[in-house]
């Protein structure tokens, strides 16, 4: 196992680190690298107060995916995985494109929000499923989108403290709220409940998917999404029950 990548994921994305442990050993490093790549994309906006700088960081990663070799703890193994055909640029580039919305002042519509989740977090699951040999990787998109939706809803307070709001403005408006109110400390609980229903709809779409055991790791984030969307406003460390649910699903192959 690439210990540097594993340590990075263990610290910064422990959910996906846990799910990746259920990947076949010969694919595990590439899956961890894919998830580390996603973490770097998320950081593009987190580490700068200037939105245009986030776009520059995303372009850096776009160039890596398109073939530019760079010495970097994540970019180097990512390039290796692409060169080996384990990860496809055609899967990864749309994920980068989806992240550009995070540099905008707000997410305007529910339709934009859905597309962002299906292309970004959903696309990550598609890439993971393809890597793990799923016969229909595209069918895994709802799993990732549901996990992405749950994660956004749980992280509302953290994003608000950064002066950011990634909830759709039209849904906030239905409840008499503006993005500026959320970053100012207002509670978006009614909007969160509404958007949790969108996450549940992604999960419902995923129920029709037959997940082969070797590809189970690509679908396991849906286990956490299902639990999170029942308590979408709860932010805090994972409990034993969350981890146990992932382990049971990983071992049995039953979501």
Q: Could you read off the pLDDT of 191-204 as tens digits, one per residue?
A: 999 999 999 999 99
Helix (H, G, I), strand (E, B) or coil at 40: helix
The pLDDT, as a whole number, for residue 63 is 98
The pLDDT, as a whole number, for residue 235 is 66
Into how many domains does the chain fold?
A: 1
Q: Residue 241: CB partners within 8 Å, gap ≥ 6?
A: 227
- Tens digit of each residue's pLDDT (9 = 90 or more) over 21-35: 999 999 999 999 999
The pLDDT, as a whole number, for residue 94 is 98
Copy the structure tokens of residue 81.
């995985």
Give me the CATH number covering residue 145: 1.10.600.10
Residue among 222, 102, 78 nearest 155 (CA): 102
Residues of the chain with pLDDT under 70: 234-235
- Tens digit of each residue's pLDDT (9 = 90 or more) over 211-222: 999 999 999 999
With residues binned 3-state (H G I as helix, E B as strand, rest as coil), the percentages for the chain, rounded to 5, are 70, 0, 30
Distances (CA, A) of 102 to 46, 50, 164, 226: 9, 11, 9, 24
The domain of 35 spans 3-252
The pLDDT, as a whole number, for residue 145 is 98
């Amino acid at each position: 196992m690439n210990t540097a990548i594993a340590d990075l994921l263990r610290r910064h994305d422990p959910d996906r680190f846990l799910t990746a442990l259920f990947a076949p050993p010969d694919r595990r490093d590439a899956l961890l690298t894919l998830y580390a790549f996603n973490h770097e994309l998320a950081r593009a906006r987190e580490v700068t107060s200037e939105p245009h700088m986030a776009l520059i960081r995303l372009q850096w990663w776009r160039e890596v995916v398109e073939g530019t070799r760079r010495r970097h703890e994540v970019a180097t193994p990512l390039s290796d995985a692409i060169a080996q055909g384990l990860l496809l640029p055609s899967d990864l580039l749309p994920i980068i494109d989806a992240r550009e919305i995070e540099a905008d002042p707000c997410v305007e519509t529910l339709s934009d929000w859905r597309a962002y989740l299906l292309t970004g977090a959903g696309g990550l699951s598609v890439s993971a499923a393809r890597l793990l040999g799923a016969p229909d990787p595209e069918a895994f998109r709802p799993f990732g989108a549901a996990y992405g939706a749950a994660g956004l809803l749980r992280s509302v307070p953290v994003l608000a403290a950064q002066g950011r709001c990634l909830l759709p403005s039209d849904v906030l408006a239905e409840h008499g709220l503006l993005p500026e109110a959320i970053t100012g400390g207002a509670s978006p609980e009614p909007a969160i409940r509404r958007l949790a229903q969108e996450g549940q709809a992604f999960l419902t779409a995923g129920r029709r998917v037959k997940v082969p055991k070797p590809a189970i790791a690509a679908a396991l984030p849906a286990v956490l999404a299902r639990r999170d969307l029942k308590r979408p406003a709860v932010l805090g460390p994972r409990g034993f029950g969350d981890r146990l649910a992932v382990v049971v699903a990983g071992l049995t192959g039953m979501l």
